[in-house]
Amino acid sequence: MATEPTIQYRYVTQAKDICGGSPIIRGTRTPIRAIVGYYRMGFSIEEILEGLPHLNAAQIFEALSYYHDHQTEVEQEILESRVSELLGKYDLRLTDEGRIVSVDNHES
């Protein structure tokens, strides 16, 4: 019985103890979802590189390749990382000043 080859990425990795296990660019703490965010806003590769100058074009292209290969899970991660989702998940609230605080914190 033939086994399916494991797809490996040169620049993309995951580790439980880095960025909560989110896929990141190897050797950085830059999550794939951050690059995808720029991409979905219509930024060019050059513009993404301006925003993330510690990366190179090959890393950006591979992050987008990873995204297209794993679109469902990356989209789910983007959804879960939205502020409104985090507020409910961790019992937090947003103050009038824009600070995130615990619900049981009596500061306003």
d(CA 30, CA 43): 17
Give 108's pLDDT tier (boundaries 50, 70, 90).
very low
d(CA 40, CA 59): 17
Task: Point out the least confidently predicted range of 1-15, 35-49, 73-87.
Answer: 1-15
Q: Please give the average per-residue pLDDT across 4-10, as a whole number.
A: 67
The fraction of the chain above a pLDDT of 70, given in percent, is 90
* b/e 39-53 (16+ beta carbons within 10 angstroms → b): beeebeeeebbeebe
18 in any annotated domain:
yes
4 in any annotated domain:
no
Averaged pLDDT of the chain: 86
91 in any annotated domain:
no
21 in any annotated domain:
yes
93 in any annotated domain:
no
102 in any annotated domain:
no
Domain that holds residue 60: 12-81
d(CA 44, CA 1): 44
| Cβ–Cβ under 8 Å, residues 12 and 63 | yes
The CATH number linked to 59 is 1.10.10.10
Q: What is the pLDDT of residues 29-71, one digit of tens each?
A: 999 999 999 999 999 999 999 999 999 999 999 999 999 999 9
* Structural domains of the chain, count: 1
